[in-house]
Structure 1
Amino acid sequence: MGSHHLKLRPNYPRSRTGCLTCRVRKKKCDELKPRCAGCRRNQIACEWPSVVSDPLPVFIHHDSPPSTSVTINDPGQSDHSVVTSDLLAHGGSVLGIIQPKPQALNTVDRAAGLTPLSLLLLRHYVQETGPALAMRTPSDSPFLTTVLPLAYMDDLLMHSLLALSGTHLAYKQGSDHGILHATALHYSKALSGLRHEFAHLQDGTSPQEPRLLLVLMIICHYESLSADVGGAVFSHLKAGRQLALSLQSRLKSQPDRRTIDNEIAGFALEIYAYLLFVNNVTPYGAISNRTLPFDDFVLSLDSLSSFSTFGTMFAGAHELFELIPQISLLASQSIAEESAGQKTPSSELLARAEDLSARISSWTMAETRCTGRPGDWEGKLLAAAALQQGLHIYLATAKAGSTVKDPAVAVQIQGHVDAILHITEMLTDSEFDCTLLWPCVIGGSCMVIPEQQRNFTLRVLNNRHRMKHLKTICDTLQLLWDDDSPSSYGPHGLSVVMARNRHYLAIT
């Protein structure tokens, strides 16, 4: 073997049930309490996980507005199969819109007539995929009430919806070849149509900009649900950014936002901002092809709040989502300071972190954002609570730089992980589970207890939506959990593992 040397791995397993300090450091633990030999030898604090009886944050217990308390799974909500039947068989107006009859869509020159399975994909979109995308009931979701009627008249948009539905249905049915083929055809039509329209687009003046951004955002969802790990989502988001900036500028100069084009623009901009936020799960710039600029309008979404569709993706917690990019930038600064040889974070960084921590902890949801069914208030609060917990983890790891060395910080992070898992259980089978993926990925990157890792994986893989990218997320986290390096922990560790394995997961 010449001058090459093998670095032999120790012949003992690394800690699976030891103290939190050894788990975070990914070191062997002899499990002696109250202080294991490794912590005594290194003269560091030895911390052990504790049972959390009520890990929910304090604000969950604030008085809710006067309403009748009901369970999150409201038995009175519309049955999706009934909605599908009425939409596609009877041409009714269950969602408050006039629907065309199926035969009007099933001609060979229309998107829904492209293949014998196309109407099946449309039915699945109405019944399963569309309702899974929003933090609203199907009868109140713009993915059905706004996007679907437009798609009946716009074949480019319809191709994108059918591709999205197809990739969802194909995975649920075990990669059915017929569905995969139909999906590929619709996806190809959507991409070729986009290229054609972009080639003839005049910057800042085209009335096609709102629908093109909407189509791009649907295609982003397709890439994510297809378990794309090559970064296609980020290419589409980069293309969408120019449209988003142009639309934002146009909307500023048009105070009357009641036109259909402006409503489409407002909804497409919200989806763009949401996808930009939730795909920040690492320090900013850690992976170049996942890095997108944070423009002013996404750092403060108040300009979109007057649209009737606003809140579809954020469910009353957009101020919390706005903190994600700021923490991502702080994490990047922390690692840069560490790389420059700085032993402790700068006072400027600590001040920013303190401000962000206060904003996370003090945030509460305005009662005016509780609309719809009485049980929506509880669901929105729980979803926002999970987001708060994820933000606390993101911020704690951002301050720590490349490695969490302080056992006390690891214990705090573990408490937030416990809370996220508890909330996830409470929101099972609720439409308010749509925004749980980001905090779950952030929390998952800091899971060091094997039983939690196993339970988390089972819960995600058995999610009611059965989407392929959920398996990809679990596979990526497993790569992180299996890595012995102490730096393979938290969002920074996630970026290292993704870059090493070229496994760039995308989140919706």
Structure 2
Amino acid sequence: MPPDRQPRVQRIVRVRTGCWSCRRRKKKCDELRPICSGCRRNDLRCEWPSTVPGRRNSGPENDSSSYIPADRRSSFAGSIEDLDAMQLPASPLSRRHSSTSSSPGLSAIIEEHLAQVPAQDETIDRRRSTIVGDENALVASMAVGNVVPRTLSMLPGYDPESYSLLSHYLANTADVMANGTTPINPFLVQIVPLAFTSDLLLQLVIAQSAAHRAFRRRDDSDAVANSHYTKAIQLFRHGVNDFIEGKESNPLMLLVGALLMCFTETAKGDMTGTVFDHLSAAHTLLVKLLEQSDTAVPRELKDFVIEYYVYTATVSMISIDARLSGQLFLNFDLEQRAREVLRTQYVGNLCGCWLELLLLIPCIFDLGRQWMMDDTQPTVPTADDMAMFASIQAQILRWSPYSFVEPEVYLAGLVFQQAMLIYLYTSLGGYTYTPDGMYKGLIQTAVTEALSYLDEISPQARINSGLCWPIAVVGSCLEKPEQQERLRTRLTAMATHFGLGNMQRTLLLLEAMWELPASDAGPWNICRSMQAKQIWISFA
């Protein structure tokens, strides 16, 4: 590098010689053997490598590392050297630390703090020895084989509980959030790398994992989950303020953060409608992101973010009362970007192979809204209403799942297709529910078809994680007790297996709807049941 150019991040100077204790503490070692002055002063075990760079013929009589078997010394020393050579980026959270942290960064913080106090204070020396000794003991206890891990230095400021939650996310939460449509899970390959570059996303991942674990334990008052959720909200607000003040120009992290918060509510089974606040924030941020050059964000990540938002926004619209609100979460520009993704025959872990169907939901919502909000509502739909109705119906009927997808994905696509038909057939209010009318029969046919496809999918199949919306649409039209019991059994099994709160809340909402008269059935009355029972959920 030319002398006039300096690296953006100052290189961390690490101790290359001396005993292992001084290296780990990043302190200069005077190399007195068998016990150096630093270890003697701090009452630490003084351990030496088999060979020290810059010293020749170090005899075994002075080598305290001889207790390590000869065939394992090289790998142990190599691992330590690799750790010393690694350089971590600076993190705003690096100043936040707890007494249980065992990262090398914690040692540096403690040593820097204690160095400001007179060294001859024996009480402080003993305290320093205790803290560093405990840290080394914890690192040693967490070692795998002879490799000392970089455990908490990767996440400065996080305690061991956070590591447990991160492990839970990798092993469980990410798995149930994706529907298994593709062998690559974007909640792992896209979200996790981003999380390790952003304190906000990392906290959100941990908060989502905590919410999922708490629901699995059926513990709504889980203190750990509540604490991490509060931290996530605070970090998100701080990020929004920085974005508004111009301190951060790239909306990607905030956008992904808002979407993660939506799915955190999904895991919690939130009933207060908080998810819609996150969704509104995500809408604004996605518009900002799409204004940037396509080269600013990798194509795979951008496609996933678009899928993530479109899926969450479209299936959440059913929770909005079309009689009172014209709110749409998908504007024309976002819809066009989604259709660009669709032209590549995109198959995703949220929208499966039915992205085309999801893009019709706003069209149906707008059709129903215009009909229901018309104060001078005629007895039959207008010609324009019927033309739009026929166009949407034709698009749904000619749609079919991609032939190359897995059988369960194919069946799930057919379930969505029947649910879309039910949503459309019930969009024209009273006209749909005329006694013994044609559309009444079409609705029951679609319900029967959807239930038969659902029966072919195991309640434990991963594809179920994305089926709450069609299940709610179909379930809202069930009149026969045996059909209701079939769906009740299925949702109970799904909630038990996946541990996602929205599955249990979906059943809770349907139970409320099944108590209503037939005239109040149908997906357009889901929002009214929410209002009556104060259950505000998204079906994402």
TM-score by length of structure 2 reads: 0.66
Measure, in 1, the Cα distance between the counterparts of 2:489 and 2:354. 28
Long gaps (5+) in structure 1: 1-99, 371-375
Retained in 1: the 8 A contact 2:181–2:348?
A: no
Measure, in 2, the Cα distance between the counterparts of 1:204 and 1:492. 42
Q: Are the structure 2 counterparts of residues 490 and 118 from structure 1 closer, same or farther at C-alpha, using a change threshold of 3 Å? A: same
Q: Are the structure 2 counterparts of residues 410 and 137 from structure 1 closer, same or farther at C-alpha, using a change threshold of 3 Å? A: closer
Retained in 2: the 8 A contact 1:282–1:495?
A: yes
Give the equivalent residue in structure 1 for 2:23: none
Measure, in 1, the Cα distance between the counterparts of 2:181 and 2:379. 50
Write the letter of the residue equivalent to 1:266: D
**Deviation digits for residues 174-209 of structure 1 (CA, Å, limit 9, x no counterpart):** 3186xx222222211211111111111159994531
Give the equivalent residue in structure 2 for 1:184: 226
Give the equivalent residue in structure 2 for 1:416: 446
Bigger CA drift: 387-396 or 189-198?
189-198
Give the equivalent residue in structure 2 for 1:355: 391
Measure, in 2, the Cα distance between the counterparts of 1:217 and 1:444. 27
Q: Are the structure 2 counterparts of residues 198 and 400 from structure 1 closer, same or farther at C-alpha, using a change threshold of 3 Å? A: same
- Are 2:441 and 1:432 aligned? no
Q: Are the structure 2 counterparts of residues 205 and 391 from structure 1 closer, same or farther at C-alpha, using a change threshold of 3 Å? A: farther
Write the letter of the residue equivalent to 2:269: A
Q: Are the structure 2 counterparts of residues 364 and 110 from structure 1 closer, same or farther at C-alpha, using a change threshold of 3 Å? A: same
- SS of 2:537's equivalent in the other structure is coil
Measure, in 1, the Cα distance between the counterparts of 2:148 and 2:334. 39
Retained in 2: the 8 A contact 1:118–1:182?
A: no
Identity over aligned residues, as a percent?
25
- SS of 1:110's equivalent in the other structure is coil
Q: Are the structure 2 counterparts of residues 204 and 451 from structure 1 closer, same or farther at C-alpha, using a change threshold of 3 Å? A: farther
Measure, in 2, the Cα distance between the counterparts of 1:441 and 1:474. 8
Retained in 2: the 8 A contact 1:138–1:144?
A: no
Long gaps (5+) in structure 2: 1-143
**Deviation digits for residues 448-490 of structure 1 (CA, Å, limit 9, x no counterpart):** 1111112211210111212222121111111111123x43110
Aligned residues: 390
Q: Are the structure 2 counterparts of residues 292 and 377 from structure 1 closer, same or farther at C-alpha, using a change threshold of 3 Å? A: same
Retained in 2: the 8 A contact 1:403–1:489?
A: no
1:277 deviates by 0.8
1:135 deviates by 3.1
**Deviation digits for residues 282-331 of structure 1 (CA, Å, limit 9, x no counterpart):** 5763465x944431134341334589986232222211110111111111
Retained in 2: the 8 A contact 1:417–1:443?
A: yes
Q: Are the structure 2 counterparts of residues 226 and 291 from structure 1 closer, same or farther at C-alpha, using a change threshold of 3 Å? A: farther
Give the equivalent residue in structure 2 for 1:229: 271
Equivalent positions of 1:168-183 (< 5 A) are 168-175=212-219, 180-183=222-225
Retained in 2: the 8 A contact 1:266–1:307?
A: no
Q: Are the structure 2 counterparts of residues 272 and 125 from structure 1 closer, same or farther at C-alpha, using a change threshold of 3 Å? A: same
Measure, in 1, the Cα distance between the counterparts of 2:346 and 2:201. 18
Equivalent positions of 1:329-478 (< 5 A) are 329-337=366-374, 339-367=375-403, 370=404, 376-401=405-430, 404-407=433-436, 408-428=438-458, 429-463=460-494, 464-478=497-511
Measure, in 2, the Cα distance between the counterparts of 1:293 and 1:431. 27
Q: Are the structure 2 counterparts of residues 489 and 304 from structure 1 closer, same or farther at C-alpha, using a change threshold of 3 Å? A: same
Q: Are the structure 2 counterparts of residues 423 and 104 from structure 1 closer, same or farther at C-alpha, using a change threshold of 3 Å? A: farther
**Deviation digits for residues 111-162 of structure 1 (CA, Å, limit 9, x no counterpart):** 6x24x42222212211221011223368501101121122233221111111
Give the equivalent residue in structure 2 for 1:483: 516
- SS of 1:140's equivalent in the other structure is coil
Equivalent positions of 1:285-300 (< 5 A) are 285-286=322-323, 288=325, 291-300=327-336
Equivalent positions of 1:320-331 (< 5 A) are 320-331=357-368
CA RMSD after TM alignment: 2.9
Measure, in 2, the Cα distance between the counterparts of 1:360 and 1:506. 23
Measure, in 1, the Cα distance between the counterparts of 2:430 and 2:358. 22
- Are 2:164 and 1:133 aligned? no
Retained in 1: the 8 A contact 2:314–2:329?
A: no
Q: Which has the larger radius of gyration?
A: 2
**Deviation digits for residues 479-506 of structure 1 (CA, Å, limit 9, x no counterpart):** 111123x431102222222122322221
Q: Are the structure 2 counterparts of residues 491 and 176 from structure 1 closer, same or farther at C-alpha, using a change threshold of 3 Å? A: closer
Equivalent positions of 1:90-169 (< 5 A) are 103-106=149-152, 110=156, 113-114=158-159, 116-136=160-180, 140-169=184-213
